[in-house]
Amino acid sequence: MNLREDVAANAGQSKGQLVVVAYRLAHAARGPLGRPPRPWALPIGVLYRVAVEWVLSVEIPWGTVVGRRLRVFHGAGIVINDRTVIGDDVTIRQHVTIGNKRPDGPCPVIEDGVELGAGCIVIGGIRVGRGAVVGAGAVVTRDVPAGATVVGNPARITSPGD
């Protein structure tokens, strides 16, 4: 865990800095994934949930796997399923939803360097490839190739190679 990288990645976004640092601290306190949270960490989890989810309206469960230097711009209304996997250098804007299509269904894998535009929805057991850009308001239910840009509802690839 390198909090300095997270703070630097969110330079100028104090809310984003707060969200990411709080997530990192709660995630570290929680303990190994695949096991119940450490008992002494439960008050930390409750405090994290109240401060970040209820007050700031950003749901990144403390058990979610998130890579380095997550950027949260204009963090509000963000909902991420705890089984989602997020790579390094991912940017998430306001009102993004990432999760499953049905209870206990598979969740997306968001690879390194992906940018998720405001209000986009990424659902199901799909993969958003390295360096892809998901446009504002796009609804993504299928894999997105590395480096592609997708827009619309349903999302369609606009680059590379149209």
Total Cβ atoms within 10 A of residue 101: 12
- For the chain, what is the domain count? 1
pLDDT of residue 1: 66
Q: State how far the Cα of 93 lies from the Cα of 37, in Å rounded to an integer.
A: 29
Q: Are the C-beta atoms of 71 and 93 separated by less than 8 Å?
A: no
Range of the domain at 46: 3-159
Q: Which of 100, 70, 106 is nearest to 87 (CA)?
A: 70
Q: Which amino acid is at 153?
A: N
Q: Are the C-beta atoms of 80 and 114 separated by less than 8 Å?
A: no
CATH classification at residue 68:
2.160.10.10
What six digits make up the tokens of 39? 């008992």
Instruction: Read off φ and ψ for residue 159, nearest 5 degrees.
Output: -165, 165
Q: What is the DSSP letter of 38?
A: P
What six digits make up the tokens of 83? 């089984």
Q: Are the C-beta atoms of 138 and 156 separated by less than 8 Å?
A: no
- State the pTM of this model: 0.92
pLDDT of residue 160: 60
Whether the per-residue pLDDT at 161 is higher than 60: the answer is no
pLDDT of 110-152, one tens digit each?
Answer: 999 999 999 999 999 999 999 999 999 999 999 999 999 999 9
Whether the per-residue pLDDT at 158 is higher than 90: the answer is no
Q: Which amino acid is at 9?
A: A
Complete edge-to-edge strand list for the sheet that includes strand 156-159: 71-72, 91-92, 115-116, 133-134, 149-151, 156-159
Q: What is the DSSP letter of 51?
A: I
